[in-house]
Chains A and B, each alone.
Chain A
Amino acid sequence: MSTPAATSVLPVALALWRRSLNEVLRVRGALLPATIAPVVFLLGMTGQFGRLTGLEGFPTDSYLSWIVPLSCLQGAGFAGAATGSNLARDIEQGWFDRLLVAPVPRPLLLAGPILGGVTRSLVPATAVLVVGLALGAELSGGLPGLLALYVACAGFCTVAGLWGVFMALTFRTQQAGPLMQQGVFLAVFLSTAYTPEVLLRGWLADVAHLNPVTQVLELARQATVSGLEPSLAHTLPGLLALAGMFAVLGGVALLGLRRLGR
């Protein structure tokens, strides 16, 4: 038999999830920047750096296939970070204060918007994938690879959402928006974004090795990079990296939530 608290939890989370999705339906073009930016990066980087596949040690001869998962993650990450911007707006406009007095567990107030972010992230991730495949990227990993790509995107969007929420709860202003976006930008690009680890030189090689997003990218690249066949060895490190980031950022977001209103 379920407790009264448990019965009230799900409807509240669903209501907040629906509210965050309403934004997409009500604001025309709300998803356009988050969708167009990664597509532009996909096309731009492929055009600029396409010849890098000619270097010894590059696992695929299609740079587009190498970059598609990165751009999918980028799109999902920006959609996640937007959760933080929306929360900052709710705090600034006083709406979040009203939510805080509701008789529901506080973490639930974050779960709905983050779930909304994950749902929204499907749009840019899919748009990038479709554009990439249309331009010649290979879906070498088949269905398991595709599943890995979407798990990586959903996980990274959640993590980016928690980062955005933490920033929003810390600064409590929409002006922190660029910090949220640039945090995602940095996390993605300080990894094996352009080239595999063996071809990285200097400080970036060390940073990329330590950056958990490198593992998440490897998880995602099982979909399109022929040198990275779907396997547990390529999957587990990515899942662990996501779990680690979720634990750390989730923890600091909850701490920020606890401080709010004191």
Chain B
Amino acid sequence: MNEARVVLALGRRALSVQFRRAQLLMPTFVLPLMLLAVIASGTSAAQDLRGFPDVASYLGFIVPGTIIQGALLAGLTSGTALAGDIEFGFFDRLLAAPVHRTSLVIGRQAGTLGLSVLQTTFFLCVGLAFGAHYPGGFGAALAAIVLAAITAVGIGGIAAALALRTGSLSLLQSIFPFVFVLLFTAPAFFPRELLTPVLRDVAAYNPLTYVVEAVRGLLTGEHGLGDPWLGLAAAVGLALATTMLATLALAQRLRAT
């Protein structure tokens, strides 16, 4: 019970820090929407390509890419904030508190989860306002929010592990471009069948492929575009593995200090 309160308090703190520092929110909330707007208008002619799925709205087709991009950035931002806490000494004070050390990692992950829920809801609403259709309905949108949140926790785990291993804020800030490697090696904005052959092969090994396709399948109501259960398995697997990685990194940090 006490640990649950610690996790909740740390999660709330992680969220409030994000909202107090608007410059942290710019990349997570604004950048994915900018990319969505540009891609939606810049590549909508792609619907004329042979093999492109017959979907009700092109915007609705690419919104899942934006949602996953948001999840990636939410996770990275959370790791960056953790690195800041380490560099400025706040994390050392937390370590002196009489709580289970794993709660410190899970608390941070709870903040990432909350941020991702807010973010995905925001993206879905903005998409809707600009003409995206979600034939999958309200339940599908909720499921998409859950999938994105679990994915954000997965990415947050990698970022937290890096932050705990290095304690370097500048390193975390400089891995920003690598987030896009994960995004672009998944069929984020184009169907997998229409990716270039090399990328199609690489995409099969990227867990985000299954998550983005699952979100697409859910929102469009076309389960042929993505299997929600496969997406859930990929997201949960990623979240478990990376949270474990972050916990190990914390243990290693404690041993070293």
| B partners with A | yes
**Residues on A facing B (Cβ under 8 Å):** 29, 32-33, 36-37, 40-41, 43-52, 54-55, 175, 177-179, 182, 185-186, 189-190, 193-195, 199-205
- Cross-chain contact B185 with A44 (CB below 8 angstroms): yes
The reply on B41 being an interface residue by CB < 8 A is: yes
* A86 CA / B84 CA spacing, docked (Å): 20
Given A44-B180, A44-B184, A204–B42 Cβ distance below 8 Å? yes
Given A37-B177, A48-B189, A199–B184 Cβ distance below 8 Å? no
Main SS class of interface, B: helix
- Cross-chain contact A40 with B174 (CB below 8 angstroms): no
8 contacts between A and B (CB under 8 A): A33-B174, A37-B180, A51-B49, A175-B23, A185-B31, A193-B42, A201-B45, A202-B41
Q: Which residues between 188 and 213 of chain B lie within 8 Å of chain A, taking CB atoms? A: 188-190, 194-196, 198-199
* A186 CA / B36 CA spacing, docked (Å): 12
The reply on B46 being an interface residue by CB < 8 A is: yes
* A40 CA / B184 CA spacing, docked (Å): 8
Residue of A nearest to B183 (CB): A44
Given A178-B27, A189-B35, A190-B38, A51–B176 Cβ distance below 8 Å? no
Residue of A nearest to B171 (CB): A29
On chain B, which size bracket covers the interface?
35 or more
Given A40-B181, A51-B194, A194–B188 Cβ distance below 8 Å? no
- Cross-chain contact A48 with B49 (CB below 8 angstroms): no
Q: Which residues of A contact B45 (CB under 8 A)?
A: 52, 55, 195, 199-201
Q: Which residues of A contact B37 (CB under 8 A)?
A: 204
Q: Which residues of A contact B48 (CB under 8 A)?
A: 55
* A32 CA / B176 CA spacing, docked (Å): 11
- Cross-chain contact A182 with B34 (CB below 8 angstroms): yes
Q: Which residues of B contact A194 (CB under 8 A)?
A: 38-39, 42-43
Q: Which residues of A contact B44 (CB under 8 A)?
A: 201-202
* A221 CA / B117 CA spacing, docked (Å): 41
Q: Which residues of A contact B184 (CB under 8 A)?
A: 40-41, 43-45, 47-48
Given contact pairs A47-B184, A175-B23, A182-B34, enumerate 6 new A-B contacts (beta carbons under 8 Å): A41-B184, A48-B184, A48-B195, A48-B199, A49-B43, A200-B42
- Cross-chain contact A52 with B27 (CB below 8 angstroms): no
Kindly provide the distance from the CB of B66 to the nearest chain A CB, expressed in whole angstroms: 13
